[in-house]
Structure 1
Amino acid sequence: MLRVGVVGVGMMGQHHVRVYSELAREGKVELVGIADANFERAKELAKKYGTVPYGDYRELAKENLDAVDVAVPTSLHKDVALEFISHGTSVLVEKPIADTIENARAIIQAAEEAGVTLMVGHIERFNPAVLRLKDLISEGELGKLVTISAKRVGPMATRIRDVGIIVDLGVHDIDVISYLFGEPIKTVYARAGNVVHPAGVEDHALITLGFEDGTGIVETNWLTPHKTRTLTVVGTGGIAYLNYIEQSLKLYNSDWIKEAKIQKREPLRNELEHFIECVKAGKKPIVDGRAGLHALRVALLAQKSARTGKVMEVRE
């Protein structure tokens, strides 16, 4: 049985622990332990989910794990990931893959050299509505894609942030839009600012993504009093409206309106099951290190564009 652990049990990490505990009850994994610098928090969750708490992730790394889930603040991704990779452990690291391009490359290189699985937790790729939309696009239901626009707005959460909204939230739709177009992003232009956060940490942004023959738009902020997570896809053959939260998808053309049948399921569970499957079978994840690096690169260039007012070319 696959031996897994979780590092970081804050707002997002606690849900990872919950899902792994469910998978453990089903006999799919063994949840060996969880680690957090807040040891009291680790003990609390360990007691709740029947596992072992650690105050230092380095101690958990010594437990001969097959896989680890890294859900610590972005600035710590590199150090934690490299520690586990050095022990031959496969790693799922929450999005974004790292805080800098250099750190992301270091994680990717270490995983490749160690021969372990590296996956980046871009959870919206595992949203059933997104998966269904991708199938419909591939089947030609919308014709040739022209524009994809996303709105990801809502109130500021209480969790501590070490990055601005473009890297924290905008990166979700940067990745999804690239995935739906089926190609890397060529250019990026952004306008951003800060109302609540200190200078240099943007809390609202409008991002334009240029493709070979199409455009993506991402609107995101921490200022809207209610949460909205939507995506609109315009093609030569119709238009699709997706709601991430409701996991709903409607398609319109000049003759009909269709609502896609979607079997609703928790995206996080889909994601973690995929990670486990990849580790067991030695398969390449849907969102590997290179995909995570591309999304991070575009997000960082969007920040630079917002500072300089220039369109940035995305060079790999």
Structure 2
Amino acid sequence: MHPRIAVIGCGQWGQNHVRTLAEIGALVAVADRNVERAETFAERHGVAAMEPDEATASPDIDALVLALPASAHGPTARAAFAVGKDVLIEKPISLDVADAELTAAVARKAGRILMVGHVLRFHPVFQKLVATVAEGRIGTVRHIVANRMGLGRFLGMDVVWDLAPHDLSLILKMAGSMPLAVQAMRRTVLSDATDVADIVMEFAGGLKAEVHASRISPYRDRRFSVIGTEGMLVFDDLAPEGEKLGLYGHKVWRDGEVFSFENAPVTYLPVSPGLPLDRELRHFIDCIVHRRQPETGPEEAVETVRILNAASPLG
């Protein structure tokens, strides 16, 4: 039997949580400051419509999914932990490092599950990429490059906070540790905030990673590239099915003072099908039932906010 889950926030992404949890059979209520919106989704899925505070306090709800403005995530989650609920918070967990740390601390003290919705971590292509690296097929990982570029999404926050969290989560998973140093270059071009940003990170062992984010690019790019000593992997989210994960056997080597390289044709790796949001929510449910720490838990959530603030301080 599934835990009883309510979604608070029925905006663009919250609606996806509502629909997916209903398909899984775990949705029991929806809540939104806009009562009519909550009632519309509640009627559509045959569940209760509630005020956000009512859903947080209800003893008939085991867990919450929060898809709210980031400033409301911390207070709502902490109120839920206080009454024994587990919580999945959409990224980012907060806009403030101290607030994120407080939310994580309250969850630990209450013994509750705190998961953050970095949905690309549950993409079957990314998970296949992680497994392929673990098999040693590209040797030692030395560099990671994430491109997230396109036109639009002027949502009242700069491009760092809007687009970079996706790839920061992927990089932290690949690195297996927190960065030793973070540098950023930001450019305001066509709006009143950062439109283009480059974030560079250094990790223990010499691993380096960079994120290129733009909301004024004339073309879309959603590539995540991992460069190793024996080859390279590219996760291209815009590529056709069957070509989303490419293995390149390119090599670079040194002979005395001379560097040489060798190109190799791409091999597209097979990937099992699956919808990232469905996989993410089923993982949340599994963590609730078996009291397991989630793949995207509090430590990473706080570190992501820390990197975002280092790259683009707010206030």
TM-score by length of 2: 0.89
Computing the radius of gyration over CA atoms, which structure comes out larger, 1 or 2? 2
Find the partner of 1:108 among 104, 108, 115: 104
Q: Corresponding residue for 2:56?
A: 61
Quote how far apart the aligned CAs of 1:169 are. Answer: 1.3
Quote how far apart the aligned CAs of 1:273 are. Answer: 0.4
Q: Secondary structure at the match of 2:267?
A: strand
TM-aligned CA distance change 1:53 to 1:244, over 3 Å: same
The one-character-per-residue Cα deviations of 1:218-275 (angstroms, maximum 9, x if unpaired) are 1111112443211111111011111134471010115653211102321111100000
The one-character-per-residue Cα deviations of 1:146-185 (angstroms, maximum 9, x if unpaired) are 2110111122237x44x32212211211121121122221
Contact map agreement 1:127 1:244 (CA 8 A) in 2: no
Quote how far apart the aligned CAs of 1:197 are. Answer: 3.6
The one-character-per-residue Cα deviations of 1:14-50 (angstroms, maximum 9, x if unpaired) are 00000000011xxxx2x22111112221112112122
Q: Corresponding residue for 2:183?
A: 189
Find the partner of 2:29 among 28, 33, 50: 33
The 10-residue stretch of structure 1 (130-139 or 77-86) with the greater mean CA deviation from structure 2: 77-86
- What does 1:1-316 align with in structure 2 at a 5 Å threshold? 1=1, 2-24=3-25, 29=26, 31-54=27-50, 56-64=51-59, 65-157=61-153, 160-161=155-156, 163-198=157-192, 201-212=193-204, 213-246=206-239, 248-254=244-250, 257-304=266-313
Q: Which runs of 5+ in 1 are unaligned?
A: 308-316
How many Å separate the matches in 2 of 1:258 and 1:273?
31
How many Å separate the matches in 2 of 1:182 and 1:112?
21
How many Å separate the matches in 1 of 2:144 and 2:22?
37
Quote how far apart the aligned CAs of 1:196 are. Answer: 4.0
The 10-residue stretch of structure 1 (3-12 or 165-174) with the greater mean CA deviation from structure 2: 165-174
The 10-residue stretch of structure 1 (128-137 or 222-231) with the greater mean CA deviation from structure 2: 222-231
Contact map agreement 1:96 1:168 (CA 8 A) in 2: no
- Superposition RMSD in Å: 1.9
Q: Secondary structure at the match of 1:157?
A: coil
How many Å separate the matches in 2 of 1:96 and 1:232?
23
Q: Secondary structure at the match of 1:242?
A: strand
Quote how far apart the aligned CAs of 1:284 are. Answer: 0.6
Q: Which runs of 5+ in 2 are unaligned?
A: 251-263
How many Å separate the matches in 2 of 1:10 and 1:293?
24
The one-character-per-residue Cα deviations of 1:269-303 (angstroms, maximum 9, x if unpaired) are 11000000000100010111111111111111111
Q: Secondary structure at the match of 1:207?
A: strand
The one-character-per-residue Cα deviations of 1:114-133 (angstroms, maximum 9, x if unpaired) are 11100011111101111011
| Code of the aligned partner of 1:19 | T
TM-score by length of 1: 0.89
Q: Secondary structure at the match of 2:144?
A: strand
Percent identity of equivalent pairs: 30
| Code of the aligned partner of 2:189 | V
Contact map agreement 1:155 1:222 (CA 8 A) in 2: yes
How many Å separate the matches in 2 of 1:149 and 1:264?
25
Contact map agreement 1:170 1:220 (CA 8 A) in 2: yes
How many residues align structurally? 296
The 10-residue stretch of structure 1 (149-158 or 283-292) with the greater mean CA deviation from structure 2: 149-158
